[in-house]
Structure 1
Amino acid sequence: MRILNDAPGEAAGGPALDIVVTRHDVVDDSTFRDSGVLDLYEELFPASERDDSDDIVRWVLSDDIGERRSFVVGGRRMSYRLDSRFFILRAVQRAIGFGFFTYDHASRLIFCNHVGVHRAWRGGGLARTFYREMVDMLGELFPRNIGVVLEVEPFDRDRLESIITDLERSGGRLLEAHEQATIRKFLRVGWYHKLGYSFFCDARTRQPLPCRSPCLDPSLPSSAWAGVEEDYWLMWHARNGVLRPAMKAGRLWQKTVTTIYIEILAKSLIEEDPRGRQAYWDYATALVTRTLQQTAATEVCLASYLGHDDSPLLSRWRRLAIDLPI
């Protein structure tokens, strides 16, 4: 357990906050569930964005525990080694925030699966303080890690500007659901930029590189897999003083895509049924290969995109003073 120093709630006379982590402070199924963190997870993320709760419990307590796991698919032996951790931010022993991360020992990359803080506790910079504390704890747990990567949902820049311009002209109005979705994507990017994250971008256009996630459910008919793929942009935050300056952004891009979609996603899904999921393995690896081929001739750089503090669009949005939690 770690006490969250200088927590906004404590400074204002509220309850002291602490952080506990699976397999260190939380070692069994009942303690994990009784914390209320899975209820909070379901409250903050729609069903389409959530992992199954039982799967999460299995991953963080028994499956992804830093041990090498091996399997044979198509006559070829493969292995992977993951360590998944759930951090729980608590007030009076109840979950008010969480972070779900997976460390891949082969690449030394940490993948940020989900982060969330209860809406009532988002003031005073608590979410940012909590996130930075988790990253420090990850550095202690995995001292060889080189940084954290995550997916964010793409948004259309022209559409975003059109929405903000219309709101300015109308003097304020109710946002349509699709408009709220676009603004939220933009604000999430801004939040991660504040934490020091950068996009993998095309150095010529300064646009984030597109990435496509395979279907997450191999049990679906193979004809349905392509229809449930998702488009993402990938963001990166280097661990201070660890990543060598000589590492090229293009090499890091290739490592990141392969780690997220092969080492963490595909291998864990295949290992559940190696004989029955040969077709899924072929599909997932082909999709990742296609992503890397499409960017093979691209000069890759790490850069911000719209969401940094001095972004004109972000300034215009703030002046509208619309309360839209992300």
Structure 2
Amino acid sequence: MANSARRRVTSSDVAREAGVSRATVSYVLNADPRQSIPEHTRRRVLEAAARLNYLPSPAARELARGSSDLVLCLLPDWPIGFSVGRLLEHLSRAVAEHGLTLVTHLASVKDGLVQDIWRKVAPIGVVVMGGLSDADRTAIQAAGIQAVHILDEPGTAEHNEMRLSQMEISRVQVAHLAGAGHRRLGFAGTDDERLAGFAQLRLDGVRGACEDLGLPEPVVHPVPLDPERAAAAVEAWRSRGDGEPVTAVCAYNDETALAILAGLRRLGLTAPGDLAVIGVDDIPSAGLADPPLSTVELDLEAQARFLADEVVRAAGGMPRFPDVSPISVRLIVRDSA
């Protein structure tokens, strides 16, 4: 073929080369047990595919066989902390229970290399832990590869479930602090732009919970992982000149909460007496803090099983954990709030 070097060889090219239909090519290359193909025809198709260097899509081949192969997890430019690492561990185990293998790749929309990755891996499904460019999204859809998104694709059911799980974290934080008598709450955001999406969801959850309980709008300050700058945020919450001082803070995550505790110590203050603090994630150091950190733990295993089921369901298979919801959180009460 004159242009075979300039574009990917397709099953149509193989069919023309072998003098058979595309369906016959599919039956032969997928070893479909339901079809009886004469041996000389089967050999002609295989020889044509070899001459053209045709590589059938693993996604199509695996789905046609009714079995499974690879799931690609596209991880954006996030810091790989305790929670992300645990989620990937659970996701790997969850897809393995479906007979799948998880392949994780760090990929940024800015890199322009996402299409190269999924084309090389040719997965039966993609878990997208962040945004995709319009070009990548369109190309993945055109290739028939099913994608499950965590934070984008607002119109999808999995999107809504995963977002709701993030907001539920904040609602549990607010309910605990309000139950302890705090009325003026703060929200400690992050100054890491890579985490802006998660931080915004959790802030939305705090705002919604405060509104539901008749509490004032939370006072928001970003808290860097630096004791001196965290101390500045603490002073801003405690010395508000425009109204009631903040007495308790919902932190974006445990690391941010630990920074607040460090800021309090820098000022000679303590939690919860001078400022109550509650985090998110229950990282190992949370229980070792001074004072031990109250926090909210998200059920990462449930989230992983939910994602694995969504991949299998999207690819036309049967979910293994049909009743699993990613909206499962647990309050861990210690001494900081």
Larger radius of gyration: 2
Higher helix share: 2
Q: Give the TM-score, by structure 2 length.
A: 0.23
Higher strand share: 1
